[in-house]
Amino acid sequence: MTSIAVHARAVRARLGNVEILHGVSLALPSGRWTSIVGPNGAGKSTLLKVLAGLLPHQGSVELLGQPLASIRPKKRAQRLAWLGQNESTADDLTVWDVAMLGRLPHQAWLAAPSEADRAAVEQALKATQAWDWRGRTLGQLSGGERQRVLLARALAVQAQVLLMDEPLANLDPPHQADWLAVVRALVSKGNTVVSVLHELSMALHADELVIMAAGCITHQGTCSDAATHRALEAVFDQRITIHPLANQWVALPN
Ligand SMILES: Nc1ncnc2c1ncn2[C@@H]1O[C@H](COP(=O)(O)OP(=O)(O)OP(=O)(O)O)[C@@H](O)[C@H]1O
């Protein structure tokens, strides 16, 4: 039986005075990659923030079988890594120091980084091809380069569950392919990856797709399933069609 890494039940969340999520229930399997897709404003980022414990909500969320609210913040940060959308970061921090922030959940208060911390940061920076810039500040990097450093920070956590909101923003095609390889490697080691993606053809590489519209989930299914493809076309008002091409699924505009 597949275990569930993240389980949301009847989740409602508000932004300002507006209810954005209207009773969302969702079970995300362990050791799999799930992509969340849907039109602008569907509530994808809001849902991801709720799953990360970053937004107050009604209903329940469990992480690895435990109520999220009952897990101490440090433990939660060890188990769940987060890559947000348009994250503000201190421009004067070096790439090395930004990636090392990912190790904070593993460090004692004011303790120097351990050998394990250094090894995790090196591995993460190399995985995102950011190692060569480790002495540069974030302010000296392009948008895509910064995104790779923020991805390295999330990887450096070495958490069981990784949530990423639009991780491909600003990445050129080769680095999108590298991101795909990183995700596949994580999943093959048993990690759980959840990504919000606008790049539908990339999202269709995932194991599972969660489709959202207007604060609700309209469909959850495997990426190879014809029913998932039809649901995806429907949520985008039949403005796209899913085609098979070179052993992949691609979403093309109609
Ligand atoms: N402070 C706020 N008050 C009220 N509504 C808000 C607030 N912030 C965001 N919203 C609305 O919440 C809805 C869901 O936003 P969310 O960012 O979760 O959508 P999304 O599916 O991730 O969108 P996108 O694909 O454009 O990134 C949007 O319609 C947005 O306009």
**What ipTM is given for this predicted complex?**
0.97
pLDDT of residue 123: 96
Beta-sheet strands, E only, within 150-234 = 161-165, 192-196, 208-213, 216-222
The stretch 148-153 carries a mean pLDDT of 94
Distance CA 206, CA 24 (A): 21
Residue nearest to atom 5 of ligand 1 (CA): 15
Quick one: which H or E segment has residue 92? Answer: none
pLDDT of residue 110: 78
> pTM of the full predicted structure?
0.95
Cross-strand partners of 194: 34, 163
pLDDT of 1 over the 60 cut: no
Distance CA 210, CA 201 (A): 14
In the structure, what pLDDT confidence band is assigned to residue 250 with cuts at 50, 70 and 90? very high
Q: Model confidence over 70-113: pLDDT tens digits? A: 999 999 999 999 998 877 778 899 999 999 999 988 888 778 88
Backbone angles phi, psi at 184, to 5 degrees: -60, -40
- Cα of 79 vs centre of ligand 1, distance in Å, is 27
Judge contact between 47 and 31, C-beta under 8 A.
Answer: no
Atom of ligand 1 nearest to the CA of 43: 18
In the structure, what pLDDT confidence band is assigned to residue 2 with cuts at 50, 70 and 90? low
Specify the DSSP class assigned to residue 159.
-
Pocket of ligand 1 (CB under 6 A): 15-16, 18, 20, 38, 40-46
Residue nearest to atom 8 of ligand 1 (CA): 15
Pocket test for ligand 1, best of 11, 12, 15 (most atoms within 8 A of CB): 15
Q: Model confidence over 14-26: pLDDT tens digits? A: 999 999 999 999 9
- Cα of 94 vs centre of ligand 1, distance in Å, is 32
pLDDT of residue 86: 73
Atom of ligand 1 nearest to the CA of 49: 18
Q: Model confidence over 29-81: pLDDT tens digits? A: 999 999 999 999 999 999 999 999 999 999 999 999 999 999 999 999 999 99
Atom of ligand 1 nearest to the CA of 48: 18
Residue nearest to atom 2 of ligand 1 (CA): 15
The fraction of the chain above a pLDDT of 90, given in percent, is 87
Side-chain-facing half-sphere of 159: CA atoms under 13 Å = 31
| Rg over CA atoms, the chain | 18
